[in-house]
Amino acid sequence: MNAPMNLLSRRQMLHTASCGFGYLGMSGIAGATLDARPPRVRARAQRVIFLNMAGGPAQMDTFDFKPQVGQKSHAGSIANFKQRGNSGLWVSDLLPNIARHADKLCVIKSMTADTSIHAQSMLQLHTGDRLRPCPSMGSWVAYGLGTENMNLPGFISFNTAKPAEYSAAQLPSIFGGTPIGVNGEDMSKATISNITGDHLPMNVKRRQLDLIQAMNREHAGLRGDDVQLEGVIQTMELGFRMQAEAPELLDLSQESKTTLERYAVGKNYAAGTCKSSDFGRQCLLARRFCEAGVRFIEITHGSWNQHTDHRRDLTANCATTDAPIAALLDDLDERGLLEDTLVIWGGEFGRPGLEPGKDKDQTGHQHRAFTFWMAGGGVKAGHAHGETSHDGSTVVDGAVHFRDLHATILKLLGLDHENLAVVSGGRRIRLTGLQGGRVVQNILA
């Protein structure tokens, strides 16, 4: 280097750190824009739909079949299982519609996380770090690849729970998730904040924004290479462009009655304490935003935390999510989108089987062994990876940590998890953290 460290601008710092990737990313986005960028290595997936089952789905009642079910000497499942499709994957009877798609699924039975605390594990699932604020994986994907539609965000988060789960954190704000709905909200009333309203014609709104942006640019000129400020400026421009396209995408009135029924839009699931949040609407909106070019879409169903009334509430959760997810997979497949759309299902951890004896109907948290599944986007179809012990309490083969899951997702998108990084406060930040992850080669098609 020809200049002392304390004289380097942020852009120069990014150039000299993180193997130059940060600089390459920043120079490629011309000051934090969402312009689409080709991946640096071969990509199998172009976009991601993450089905976030918050609270901890019980793996032995859904996808990790244990033959000792019903034996009082072991913790077991409340459900019957069958082998499905040509692949013979075991899927619970509680999920008959998803079971139809067994030959599309890549089931990872050997997931692990660092903690059984909900908030920390959910943060680690989203950001790679369970304690400190870091960019969400959706933000990393938008940062690495941009968006396929400049009138829409690169990252949409439906039925969101906490801002930290869709935050851009140390990345420019333009890469943060756009939240639609809040935890438990009626999705039929959900909107994107601050982009609706017809109190002024569009040409007047444009002139207003031009005046504000002129002042913003003047301010930015005094700040040097302030990437965060540039991100805010670009976010304001995106908000203006979204007014033309986003409201139409949120309007399901043009969808056929058959489609709405397949997705169970508006269906009332009153059993147990399950909060449906109109999950079917989320899935249908995810398909629409996927078709429109959004790079990362997260859907949330947040009622899997069943410490008591396990049988009742798990059955209700499965009933709520089963048909909409199956409809989403149907539509993606029929429209030729599943091949390059990576669909991911899972939560922050799993649950042990029901406690044996005394007819107890309660479960706890289990972070040492639980299940995710993926479909499309370059993963093996009709495939099961990893094994758990006879009672499902530990992984005995093929462990996959969240860091490994993140590395694999980025690999499928053509991104290198080791070099997709930024430097902030003297610290190198990446989705797979300081420890790094490994790509799970065995699940790649």
Mind listing the pLDDT tens digit for each residue in 344-375? 999 999 998 776 655 667 888 999 999 999 99
Domain boundary assignment for the chain? 5-443
Pair of tokens at residue 209 = 């924004």
What pLDDT score was predicted for residue 50?
Answer: 98
Residue 249 gets the label, from left (phi > 0), alpha (psi -120 to 50) or beta, of alpha
Q: CATH number of the domain at 5-443, please? A: 3.40.720
Q: Buried (b) or exposed (e) across 328-350, using 16+ Cβ within 10 A?
A: bbbbbbeeebbebbbbbbbbbbb
Residue 425 pLDDT level (bands cut at 50, 70, 90): confident
Closest CA to 114 of 307, 348, 305, 391: 348
Residue 184 pLDDT level (bands cut at 50, 70, 90): low
Return d(Cα 287, Cα 282) in angstroms, integer: 9
Residue 32 and residue 230 in contact, taking contact as beta carbons nearer than 8 Å: yes
Query: pLDDT digit string (tens) for 15-32?
Result: 333 333 333 333 333 346
Q: Buried (b) or exposed (e) across 139-175, using 16+ Cβ within 10 A?
A: bbbbbbbbbbbbbbbbbbbbbbbeebbbbbbbbbbbb
What pLDDT score was predicted for residue 159?
Answer: 85
